[in-house]
Amino acid sequence: MSTFELNEDQQDCLQELINVAMGQASDQLARYLDTFVYLKVPSIEPVNSEQLFETLNQDLKAAAVVSQGFFGYEGIRGEALLMYQPQDSHRLADLLGYEAGEMTFDEQIIDLSSILTTTFLNVFASQIDNQMSYSAPRLLSANNAKVSEHLNQQSFNWDLALKVKISYQVTDYSFNCDMVLLIPEEAINNIKAVIDRILEDF
């Protein structure tokens, strides 16, 4: 087993941390939109650089992608991608309660993305006694070449990464979006050390 891979206990612990953070982010979104948000079981998978861009290519059937970097203590960091489906994009103003012309589509989608990303990651960080800071969210062209170019501009080494995919479905509006967290190998090894400390307490 490589140092990157998680054993069963580590995987279960990380899954539980993600479930708690995902639930609170979903609750925050539901309160913000005054509607019910349905969650699917998140997927967690290690990917190498080739697999990373292959899987993103499969995911990127989106109208818009918002990317936001996150940085915590102890070398925990990565990139969050929020992906919105084409058929849902026109519903965004209704979802957020904006009047026509109040905000541009770009501003609306960045606003919603920031809520989801920061709520999820702040809860995740609080569970491991950490604290996150964020880069400014950036709206990307929804194609694999542009997203790949953006990721390669980061200071992270993407030879190996952990990919966490979370799907949110707003049932009253038939609105869906996916949040994909990409965590480079170095940061995963740092998270593993934190998880091991948590497991030692049980």
The lowest-confidence range among 24-28, 30-34, 45-49, 143-147 is 143-147
The lowest-confidence range among 1-5, 93-97, 195-199 is 1-5
Q: For residue 1, name the pLDDT band (cuts at 50, 70, 90).
A: very low
101: phi then psi, degrees, rounded to nearest 5: 80, -5
Q: For residue 188, name the pLDDT band (cuts at 50, 70, 90).
A: confident
Helix residue ranges, H only, 60-104: 92-96
CATH topology of domain 8-198: Chemotaxis protein chec (3.40.1550)
The torsion of the CA quartet 25, 23, 162, 165, rounded to 10 degrees, works out to: -80
> What tens digit of pLDDT does each residue of 44-84 get?
888 887 777 777 766 666 667 889 999 998 888 999 998 87
- Average model confidence (pLDDT) across the chain: 80
**Residue 189's pLDDT is what?**
85
- For residue 96, pLDDT over 50 is answered with yes
Mean pLDDT of 154-166: 82
Residue indicated by tokens 């929020």: 82
| CB-based contacts of 62, cutoff 8 Å, min separation 6 | 83, 84, 85, 86, 142, 178
Nearest CA-CA partner of 46 in 38, 37, 55, 59: 55
End-to-end CA distance of the chain: give it in Å, rounded.
24
- For residue 150, pLDDT over 90 is answered with no
Q: For residue 4, name the pLDDT band (cuts at 50, 70, 90).
A: low
